[in-house]
Amino acid sequence: MAPPAFPPEIHSLIIRFATYTPVYFDSPDPQYWPVDGELYSGIAADYTTKKALMLVSRQFRRMSLPYLYEVVEVHKSSNMHRLAEVLDMRSSENTSSGQQNPRKIVHLFVSVLETNDGRGKLAVFNSLGRVLTRCRSLQGFGLLDAAPYTLDTPCDWWISIPKGIRFADWHGSIMACDFAQMIDGISESLMALRISKSPYQTSSPRVSLPRLTHLSILEGIWDH
């Protein structure tokens, strides 16, 4: 006699517990967030388990897919371009079929460490803008820009940051954009914000943050 089949809800619950990835945004207070070299070391996304579940069967692939993209780390320029291509392609496929895209990124952590030149850095941030356009469920966004190139050319990738974001951790360049305007775009939902090493450029320094409960400014921000 075959064992009774579990309903999809039970399978999804098991997958949830088996693949849960703790992120430092689980604590809303930036004083408990890691810094510098430890910035993303605490993120141990179990991609091995998630990918293994994807290979069990079509049913498991369908149930596991949302968890595969739940927490995404990007550390290489090539991976940023590839992620943008995948999300663009899959979103188009789901739109054509009338289905909802299951690839919902909840937490996105990006470190821009190496680029060949200023043009290469601009290309990375343009791809980041494409990725953010597909992140309608994004709750936390961490950015570490340690590339040696700075650009004075305005780049509007930040406009793509979803309105519902709750946690933002910002280290480095803002790509010659208006900082206050950028924060104002996510001000209604932002609960915790940490900033460091960010060139400061603004036409109006006043931003209303009605839901903000935690703010941390490390090493200040300076005029650019």
pLDDT for the residue numbered 222: 46
Please tell me the distance from the alpha carbon of residue 51 to that of residue 69, in angstroms, as a whole number: 11
The values of phi and psi at residue 200, to 5°, are: -105, 125
Mean pLDDT lowest among 13-27, 82-96, 198-212: 198-212
Three-class SS of the chain: CCCCCCCHHHHHHHHHHHHCCCCHHHCCCHHHCCCHHHCCCCCCCCHHHHHHHHCCCHHHHHHHHHHHCCEEEECCHHHHHHHHHHHHHHHHHHHHHCCCCCCCCCEEEEEECCCCCHHHHHHHHHHHHHHHHCCCCCCEEEEEECCCCCCCCCCCHHHHCCCCCCEEEEECCCCCCCHHHHHHHCCCCCCEEEEEEEEECCCCCCCCCCCCCEEEEEEEEEEC
**pLDDT, tens digit (0-9, with 9 covering 90-100), for 165-187:** 999 988 876 555 666 777 888 88
How much is the mean pLDDT over the chain? 76
Any residues with CB less than 8 A from the CB of 208 and at least 6 apart, and which?
A: 184, 187
- Pairing type for strands 167-171 and 214-223 reads unpaired
How confident is residue 84, by pLDDT bands cut at 50, 70 and 90? very high
Please tell me the distance from the alpha carbon of residue 160 to that of residue 130, in angstroms, as a whole number: 8
pLDDT exceeding 90 applies to what percent of the chain?
12
pLDDT for the residue numbered 223: 46
Query: What is the mean pLDDT of the segment spanning 22-41?
Result: 72
**pLDDT, tens digit (0-9, with 9 covering 90-100), for 98-107:** 455 556 889 9
Query: What is the length of the chain?
Result: 224
Check: CB of residue 181 under 8 Å from CB of residue 157: no
Please tell me the distance from the alpha carbon of residue 186 to that of residue 164, in angstroms, as a whole number: 7
pLDDT exceeding 70 applies to what percent of the chain?
70
Query: What is the mean pLDDT of the segment spanning 19-24?
Result: 76
